[in-house]
């Protein structure tokens, strides 16, 4: 694991690391903010959206200020394997920059696109072994495709991720164009495989014991066709799952929206993880 | 003036406008944050550094949160004229993205590179005529090349810019490689012309009646050779100018440094402008 970038921010350290991933078979980068606080800290995994890499969240969300105050580590991985020899297509909603947090089973994706194993297992193990975090206090959040990843990771692995939130998540990928394309491409035609990566479907089939926090802008151009928060809302209501779905007039899909409400999410995670 | 980007952020509006500038003869872009507060607001002009455009500050500094709280408008222009037909060179420290906030007198730059007139006169007039600002309450700040621009604009036009601060400014461009190259290129060999764009020289020749706030990271790779805060410090001491020069252990030249201390600067400007 090699540190390739390092800055002091709000008294803490904002780094970027690169390592060779067993899961993806490629060099992967992730950003880490370590707050100026002693001892193993609770850690929030942030999963970014389509087209993003490990930089977007840490340069645009303004999360370090509150993370420094709360003593929270934040880990923000890249959104897919990358590089020569890694499968790709021209579209921005499939391939490099669009891993969708699944373990692909279909060629040519299945060789490197193992982002599910990477973000839920390999990366937390690596972080726990090398950085000052308390692996018993892990949370997960994310934006858009990463909000989908965060919800799915938290619902399927509540013992690994004790707090879960999302911004503008793709709530029901089996039923929206982005999700149908990505899940079909990465997992093939069997929709039973898709259901393991669909937050609304998972809530219907398994329920969830924790509390979910989801923020959604009402001026988000992707809201109606791609994000479908109402599907998650209905599933949670039917399953008795505690969901705080906050709809915000005027806000769009950008990081200005994330920046505006990230403080609420960090305080939510810190509160759950400190219990 | 055309709005080409618009987002809600922290209850306010973050926009980008484009207009044809009389000063530069080109289409210029500037970003504006308008806080959710009634009536004409005090306005801070933010001047960015080498290679930047109107986006860097508004996406990376996290200033909107405190600007919304304080009711401060922030205007962040591009750093030079751009486009086909505008002079340029391959270097990143000269030409497009590197206007140095001067009115160039040397060919080929003199045709479009009139950033001094643009940021100190044309842009404030346009903003005052079209946006909810109080032109009697204008401040100026900036980073690196933009810190230089802010200091020079504030010292030469204290009636236009009542509050002045800077991050990691180029304090004595006549005596550093970036400055010698840019001032020589844009203004020619006569160093008397350079002195009008040199903060340390201006303090020596004119003094300054207000208070200057300057933050500088001590792990900034450009500190010793390019920035020379000690020259500004000596000039202010000799001239009896009130300078708060804060040196910060560990911080570098990045926007992580700006983000960490921008709140202090916004509160400083709001306090001076509300007097």
- Candidates B55, B66, B168, B256: best to mutate against A (most CBs of A within 10 A) is B256
Average pLDDT over chain A, rounded to an integer? 98
* Mean pLDDT within A37-62: 97
Q: What is the per-residue pLDDT for B70?
A: 98
Q: What is the per-residue pLDDT for A195?
A: 98
* Mean pLDDT within A64-80: 98
> Both tokens of residue B42?
């005090």
Residue of B nearest to A254 (CA): B7
Residue of A nearest to B253 (CA): A7
Beta-strand relationship, B12-20 and B27-34: antiparallel
> Both tokens of residue A226?
């791609």
> Which run of H or E residues covers position A18?
strand A12-20
In the structure, what pLDDT confidence band is assigned to residue B169 with cuts at 50, 70 and 90?
A: very high
B61-110 pLDDT per residue, tens: 999 999 999 999 999 999 999 999 999 999 999 999 999 999 999 999 99
The Cα-based distances of A270 to A12, A70, A139, B63 in angstroms read 17, 7, 9, 24
Tokens 């590089």: give the residue.
Answer: A83
A174 catalytic? Reply is no
Q: Let me know: does A146 contact A59? Beta carbons within 8 Å.
A: no
Q: What is the per-residue pLDDT for B245?
A: 98
* Angstrom distance (rounded) from CA A102 to CA A116: 5
Q: What is the per-residue pLDDT for A177?
A: 98
Q: Convert A143-175 into a string of H (helix), E (strand) and C (coil).
A: ECHHHHHHHHHHHHCCCCCCEEEEECCCCCHHH
* Mean pLDDT within B194-220: 98
Compute the CA torsion angle A112, A117, A123, A125 (nearest 10 deg).
-130
A153-202 pLDDT per residue, tens: 999 999 999 999 999 999 999 999 999 999 999 999 999 999 999 999 99
Q: Let me know: does B104 contact B187? Beta carbons within 8 Å.
A: yes
* Mean pLDDT within A134-163: 98
CB contact under 8 A, B8 and A60: no
A228-274 pLDDT per residue, tens: 999 999 999 999 999 999 999 999 999 999 999 999 999 999 999 99
Listed in sequence order, the DSSP H helices in chain B are 55-60, 64-70, 115-117, 123-130, 145-156, 177-187, 191-195, 199-206, 229-239, 255-273
In the structure, what pLDDT confidence band is assigned to residue B141 with cuts at 50, 70 and 90?
A: very high
Which residues make Cβ contacts (< 8 Å) with residue B58, sequence separation at least 6?
B14, B31, B33, B64, B74, B76
First to last CA, chain A: 32
If you ran DSSP here, which 8-state letter would residue B103 be given? B
Q: What is the per-residue pLDDT for A255?
A: 98
Q: What pTM value is reported for the model?
A: 0.97
B45-58 pLDDT per residue, tens: 999 999 999 999 99
* Mean pLDDT within A199-221: 98
Q: What is the per-residue pLDDT for A19?
A: 98
Q: What is the per-residue pLDDT for A90?
A: 94
> Both tokens of residue A263?
């403080």
Closest in A11, A60, A251 to B8, CB measured: A251
Residue of B nearest to A258 (CA): B9
- B256 vs A contacts (CB less than 8 Å): 7-9, 14, 64
A89-130 pLDDT per residue, tens: 999 999 999 999 999 999 999 999 999 999 999 999 999 999
Q: Let me know: does A144 contact A203? Beta carbons within 8 Å.
A: no
């Amino acid at each position: 694991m090699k540190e390739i970038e390092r800055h002091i921010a709000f008294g803490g350290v904002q780094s970027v690391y690169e390592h060779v991933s067993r899961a993806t078979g490629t060099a992967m980068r992730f950003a880490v903010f370590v707050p100026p606080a002693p001892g193993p800290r609770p850690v929030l995994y942030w999963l970014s959206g389509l087209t993003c890499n490990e930089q977007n969240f840490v340069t645009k969300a303004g999360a370090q200020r509150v993370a420094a105050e709360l003593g929270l580590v934040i880990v923000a991985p890249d959104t897919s394997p990358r590089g020569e020899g890694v499968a790709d297509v021209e579209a921005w909603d499939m391939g490099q920059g669009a891993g969708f947090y699944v373990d692909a089973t279909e060629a040519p994706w299945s060789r490197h696109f193992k982002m599910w194993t990477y973000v839920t297992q390999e990366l937390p193990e690596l972080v726990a072994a090398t950085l000052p975090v308390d692996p018993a206090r892990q949370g997960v959040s994310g934006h858009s495709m990463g909000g989908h990843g965060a919800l799915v990771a938290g619902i399927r692995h509540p013992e690994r991720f004790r707090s879960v939130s999302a911004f503008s998540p793709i709530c029901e990928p089996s039923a929206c164009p982005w999700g149908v394309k990505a899940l079909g491409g990465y997992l093939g035609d069997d929709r039973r495989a898709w259901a393991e990566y669909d937050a609304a479907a998972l809530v219907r089939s398994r329920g969830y014991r924790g509390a979910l926090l989801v923020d959604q802008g009402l001026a988000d151009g992707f809201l109606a066709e791609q994000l479908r928060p109402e599907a998650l809302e209905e599933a949670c209501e039917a399953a008795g799952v505690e969901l705080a779905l906050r709809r915000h007039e005027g806000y769009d899909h950008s990081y200005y929206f994330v920046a505006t409400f990230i403080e609420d999410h960090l305080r939510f995670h810190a509160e759950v993880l400190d219990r």
